[in-house]
Amino acid sequence: MITTQTFILVLSAGSLVAALITYIIVKAEKQRCKLITDQNLMLQTELNQERQLLAEKQNAFIEMDKQFTTLQAEYKNLVQRFEELKDNRAKEEERFEHLAAKIIERKTSKFDHQHKEGIKEILAPLKERLKHFEEKVEFSNKASLERHSSLREQIHMLTQLNEKITKEAHNLTRALKSDTKKQGNWGELILESILDKSGLEKGREYHVQKSLHDDEGRRFQPDVIIDIPDGKKMIIDSKVSLVAYEKWINSEDEEEVVQALKMHAKSIKQHIDGLADKNYHDLYKIESPDFVLMFIPIDTAFSSALSGDQGLYQYAFDKHIVIVTPSTLLATLKTVETMWRNDKQNRYAIDIAVEAGKMYDKFSNFVQDMEKMGRQLDTVKGSFSDAMNKMSTGSGNLIRRAEKLKQLGAKASKTLPEHLVALQD
């Protein structure tokens, strides 16, 4: 039989085993909760990164939508101005025709060949200026319509370009990671492809690999120099950093991922420091904005670097450098292209105003010439009336005396007009 002491020992041992099992279960549950928490944090970090990428793209689309709205307003204004100019032209032509017809009808029913040639000489320059003026207005209107229709295509192109560059970047990362020279060439190639799609013209609005010298005679060769209206300049330099980025993409261990992100951010920081030491923004002095654009050809390469160092963007900005990626750079270049387009439209408006002023001055001179011609016709008509009076009316007029001489026996082979002779009765 089991004694009381033995029973107590068995009961104590059972309690100890139960407590040990409970401790093991609780510890396992805590570890599972910690693992779930770590996974949630990692997923939240990835979600934040994707949200940041989405926000950047949304901002780019918002900027494009603003530009689209601005172009719509500009197009509407141009159409309205064009219609007003057409109405004014029609009114001026109608007024001119009415005035010319009234003057001609009032003064005389006939013009000799000399008068007709004189009017042609006056009207020909006016007609030519009107034609030139109309061509400029139609050209400006057509250009605005073309830009309006192509803006939607450019917005769609921005999305496709970003997706294409990202896909190509991942495919080329492994091939380029061991060759720094090829990395640089590839980055410049991506940069030039974005410039080709920006609407800016190479050699006119931007220049590639142009050599510059500072005050000390040192030679610099930035990747791209963008010309901005009013003589301003903006410099873009491409920087590619793929080694640590490739490790981050392919790492499965959490510690390796964190370490790769830090190394990737450090690599980009080194590019920032190297670019800042060149002081590109000082080469053009007051002609250049107080910053340089550092182009990273992969959007996710920059966003991942920010995950490794959230102060990276501000670090670059403090050194007069603004980091851009394909999506943000294209939006920036589109803004510059819009500035150039507005500058051209302003020049067209000035030319139109000058031509309109010349046309008005010419028309004013023409009206003055017509009024002068009318006064001259009045003078001729008055002189003609005086001569006719002396010849056919009044006492002792020439026709009366000529007829009297004929009656007295003067020999003549011709006779005077009967209606003039009848006036003498």
Query: Which one is predicted more confidently, 2 or 240?
Result: 240
**CB-side neighbour CA atoms (13 Å) of 112:** 2
| Two structure tokens written together for 209 | 């690999």
DSSP 3-state of 172: helix
Q: Is the pLDDT of residue 5 over 80?
A: no
Helix axes 299-308, 243-250, angle to 10 degrees: 80
Residue 183: Cβ-neighbour burial (10 angstroms; 0-12, 13-18, 19+) = buried
CA distances to 70, 227, 288, 291, 305 from 230, rounded to whole Å, are 21, 9, 11, 18, 36
| Two structure tokens written together for 256 | 């390796």
Q: Within a domain: residue 293? A: yes
Q: Within a domain: residue 30? A: no
Contacts of 231 (CB under 8 A, 6+ apart): 287
* DSSP-based helix, strand, coil % in the chain, nearest 5: 75, 5, 15
Q: Is the pLDDT of residue 148 over 60?
A: no
Q: Within a domain: residue 115? A: yes
pLDDT at 24: 83
| Two structure tokens written together for 187 | 């980055």
Residue pLDDT, tens place only, 166-220: 555 555 555 555 556 677 778 888 888 888 888 888 889 899 888 777 667 778 7
Nearest Cα neighbor of 289 from 365, 202, 207, 230 is 230
Which long-range contacts link 69-74 to residues 24+ away (Cβ below 8 Å)? 70/338, 71/144, 71/147, 71/148, 71/151, 71/338, 72/148, 74/144, 74/342, 74/345
Query: Which one is predicted more confidently, 292 or 155?
Result: 292
Q: Within a domain: residue 61? A: yes
Q: Within a domain: residue 43? A: yes
Q: What is the mean pLDDT of the chain?
A: 73
The strand pairing partners of 322, in sequence order, are 293
**pTM of the predicted structure, to 2 decimals:** 0.48
DSSP 3-state of 292: strand
| Two structure tokens written together for 17 | 């085993």
How big is the chain by its Cα radius of gyration, in Å?
45
pLDDT at 396: 67
Helix axes 299-308, 4-107, angle to 10 degrees: 130
Residues 294/272, Cβ–Cβ less than 8 Å: yes
Contacts of 205 (CB under 8 A, 6+ apart): 226, 227, 336, 337, 340
Q: Within a domain: residue 9? A: no
State the average pLDDT over residues 125-150.
60
Q: Is the pLDDT of residue 65 over 50?
A: yes
Query: Which one is predicted more confidently, 390 or 262?
Result: 262
Residue pLDDT, tens place only, 322-363: 999 988 888 888 888 888 888 888 777 777 666 666 766 666
Total number of domains constituting the chain:
1
| Spatial separation of the C-alpha atoms in residues 406 and 313, rounded to whole Å | 117
Residues 287/231, Cβ–Cβ less than 8 Å: yes
Q: Within a domain: residue 179? A: yes
| Spatial separation of the C-alpha atoms in residues 6 and 317, rounded to whole Å | 79
Strand stretches in 260-347, DSSP E: 292-295, 321-324
The residue to which tokens 């190509």 are assigned: 168
| Spatial separation of the C-alpha atoms in residues 188 and 223, rounded to whole Å | 7
Q: Within a domain: residue 408? A: no
Amino acid at 317: F
The residue to which tokens 């294409």 are assigned: 164
State the average pLDDT over residues 357-384.
72
Confidence of residue 315 (pLDDT cuts 50, 70, 90): very high
Contacts of 111 (CB under 8 A, 6+ apart): 104, 119
Residues 220/278, Cβ–Cβ less than 8 Å: yes
**CB-side neighbour CA atoms (13 Å) of 28:** 6
Residues 338/66, Cβ–Cβ less than 8 Å: no
| Two structure tokens written together for 305 | 């670097």
Q: What is the extent of the structural domain holding 200?
A: 35-104+111-362
pLDDT at 293: 92
